[in-house]
Structure 1
Amino acid sequence: MITACGPVGEWFWEPAPLAAPSDDGALWALGLLSGVAGVMASCGLVTREGTGSVVLADRGDMGAPLFARRGVPPGAGLVDAVGRADAVGLLPGRLLRLSMALAGEWREAGVVRRAERLFTLRVEVWGEGAVLVGLSAYADAWLAVDLRGRPQPETGAENAPRLAAALARICGVTGSPVDPGDPTRYADPTAEGFADQGEAGAEHDDAWGMFEVPARWRGLMALLPGGPGGRDYEATTELPVRYARVRCGERVLGFLWASADGAAGYEPRSAARDAAFGAGAVWLARLRPARLRGLGAPEALDGLPGASADGGPGGGPDGSVVEDVAWGAASPDALEELSGRS
């Protein structure tokens, strides 16, 4: 199974409008969110692990929220954030966005496997009463062809029925029919999950390699101070690479790599999302002084474990550290795939 940073497919529902959203509308939205998450858990799609966010803003100025809490674990913390949003007030002209990034489960040859992020679930409530429920899937476990265009009919057949069952049951919870989102570069969502890719799957382009990988690199460069500009090692090579995992606690954020011909780079884990990109920008920036001193890429990589921004001991300002164990991969392409699968 491969995961992407952006949705593989999306589905939407429009429950009946609220008569008085200003009266505990955020708490009502949390109840709806929890109900839909419960359906997905009962279908074996998600666990109770994840992070939530609560954002309340004037629709004319969504960039400056009236209230915002992000990265909130499920439970009392999320309930408290929702209560504070209700205290601010869901008035006409305002929009509440309540969302959860959910860890989940998929099956392969009868074995249940867990993934850090399989779905994002969100509920939006307008101050005038309109309600929208959205579900986004980030993995290919439900498809007969994986994100790199390779057939996986057994995996798709093993997982797709649970997604179809959940979509149908969410219709009951929301009291509205499902509206599949637009086709993505990976797949075509339907009311039952995804359209059958049929026998053409093996001939599909490698959309993940064509679009996901370049987009991730552009995202990293956008976070680097000054952007790219001759201070970085070459980013491509045909040779095998050595790599070290970048961690924050027990969570792997990405993989720093270097090759014997002087290339070096970083692959963010799709499942780690923004944290993976933030850590990548920190450690790529720390390769630059070594590059400017004329140090080879493998030697620069060897100098990063345990280093801090000032060259002393410790991790990055985001709490990330580079492991002192080096691994090998046949190519950057193999490491790119690892970043989507791990």
Structure 2
Amino acid sequence: MTLETYSDVWLTMDTRDREQPEVYAENAPRLAAALEGISALLGCSPTPGDENRFAAPTETGFEDPRIEGTAFDDSWGTFEIPARSTLLHSGIPDSEDEYEEVTDQPVRYFTIQRNGRTLGYIWAAVGEQAAGYEPRTAAGNDAFAAGAEWLLRLRGAYKHGLTAVAALDWVARQPPRPEIGLIAEDAPQESPSLDALQELSGRY
């Protein structure tokens, strides 16, 4: 029998490399008790799976990665952000007619919502030709499906020769399509960095 978990609620650090001692203190004993109960029921001890970049499984849960340090200083930026970008672009054709997707500058953004649920954030850099869409992790596949359409709108702005900031306003003035979500604010919000906006988009 194979038992798998895709949650970080058992760990001392979450998958964004942030310490969560209270979460660990509450949930780690539950996992240990569950594994002990399964072992007693089956009459044998579990065989831990392979270590990954977040934790090392044991017979009673997971080792504390803070003891020797995590495998990566920024696993969120190293793995999850590129993976989200790849998934987002898989729904649209490749193109060179688009803005840069990364920036070190502050960004302006609009929240995209559908039926009161936030799907993601469309953004543009202040002072650079960079713009894009950050899917909200908690919205799942809906965030990526909608995001692909918002990226196509940004491509339209790029083809019109607009700066990134102007593109954000241009996209906001396009005819609404409720199926891909609607812009929630009357004016764009400000974020000190794209990293901060990606942090926001990754929260549950």
TM-score using structure 1 length: 0.52
1:252 and 2:118 are equivalent in the alignment: yes
Aligned equivalents of 1:145, 1:333: Cα separation in 2: 19
Aligned residues: 202
Which one is further off, 279-288 or 163-172? 163-172
User: Post-superposition shift, 1:296?
Assistant: 1.8
Equivalent position to 2:28, from 130, 135, 160: 160
Residue of structure 2 equivalent to 1:315: 178
Aligned residue number for residue 136 of structure 1 = 5
**Superposition deviation, residue 281 in structure 1:** 0.7
Task: Supply the distance in 2 between the matched residues of 1:278 and 1:201 (Cα, whole angstroms).
Answer: 36
Per the alignment, residue 209 of structure 1 pairs with 77
Between the aligned partners of 1:192 and 1:277, the Cα distance in structure 2 is 36
Q: Is 1:337 paired with 2:199? A: yes
Indicate if the aligned counterparts of 1:253 and 1:275 stay in contact, CA closer than 8 A. Answer: yes
C-alpha displacement of 1:240:
0.9
Once the 2 structures are TM-superposed, how far is the Cα of residue 171 of structure 1 from its aligned partner?
Answer: 6.0
Greater Rg over alpha carbons, structure: 1
For residue 295 of structure 1, what is the amino acid of its counterpart?
L
Asked if the contact 1:221/1:281 (under 8 Å) is kept, the reply is: yes
Q: 2:61 aligns with which of 156, 179, 193?
A: 193
Work out the CA distance in 1 between the residues paired with 2:157 and 2:143: 22
Letter paired with 2:151: L
Task: Name the counterpart of 2:91.
Answer: 223
Q: Which moved more, 1:155-164 or 1:274-283?
A: 155-164
Contact 1:141 1:155 in 2 (8 A): yes
Letter of the structure 2 residue corresponding to residue 143 of structure 1:
L
Q: 1:290 to 1:173 in 2, by over 3 A?
A: farther
Q: State the distance in 2 between where 1:176 and 1:300 align.
A: 61
Letter in 1 for 2:182: V
> 1:170 Cα deviation (Å)?
5.7
Q: Distance in 2 between matches of 1:249 and 1:180?
A: 43
For 1:174 and 1:223, how far apart are their aligned partners in 2?
45
The unaligned stretches of length 5 or more in structure 1 are 1-13, 15-132
Q: 1:171 to 1:323 in 2, by over 3 A?
A: farther
Per-residue CA distance 1:255-294 (angstroms, 9 max, x = gap): 1111122211111122222221111111101111111101
1:209-243: CA deviation from partner (whole Å, max 9, x where unpaired): 1011111111112212x22x221111111111111
What stretches of structure 2 of length at least 5 have no aligned partner?
Answer: none
**Structure richer in strand, relative to its length:** 1
1:253 offset after TM fit, Å? 1.7
- Give the TM-score of the pair, scaled to structure 2: 0.82
Determine the C-alpha separation between the residues in 2 that align with 1:190 and 1:249: 43
For 1:247 and 1:165, the matched residues in 2 are separated by 40
Percent identity, please.
Answer: 45
d(CA) in 1 for partners of 2:47, 2:173: 49
Q: Distance in 2 between matches of 1:172 and 1:301?
A: 59
Query: What residue is the counterpart of 2:51 in the other structure?
Result: 183
Aligned 8 A contact 2:91 2:148 in 1: yes
Partner-residue secondary structure (3-state), 1:284 = helix
Structure 1 residues 185-220: Cα deviation after superposition (integer angstroms, max 9, x where no partner): 222233433222243337842112101111111111
Query: How far off is 1:315 after superposition?
Result: 2.4
